[in-house]
Amino acid sequence: MHPQPPGRRGTVDRPYSALNLRLALAIFGLVTSTVLAVLAFRAGRTPVGWIVAALALLAAIDIVVIQVRRRARKRVQGTGFSMFE
């Protein structure tokens, strides 16, 4: 697997996607959606709770995809990446 999706613009030196920023935002979305889903279920708003729980699931899937791409980038470029690169 390559760090960049096939057919996308970007190179190893200039990546197309800011994976570290995307990871931080996905984690924020997961935490926020989980808390809101729990609050919605406790308030008796079951349909809203299920919708927000689905958003939390999407954020969790996005985190997995991001981690796979970060590992592929690490294999190609080596170590030395921080959250803020």
17 against 76, higher pLDDT: 76
Residue 8: both structure tokens together: 């996308």
Do residues 33 and 52 lie in contact, with contact meaning Cβ atoms separated by under 8 Å? Answer: yes
Residue 43: both structure tokens together: 């308030």
pLDDT band of residue 8 (cuts 50, 70, 90) is low
Residue 58: both structure tokens together: 């999407």
Do residues 23 and 30 lie in contact, with contact meaning Cβ atoms separated by under 8 Å? Answer: no
What is the reported pLDDT for 64?
95
Across the chain, mean pLDDT equals 83
pTM (2 decimals)?
0.72
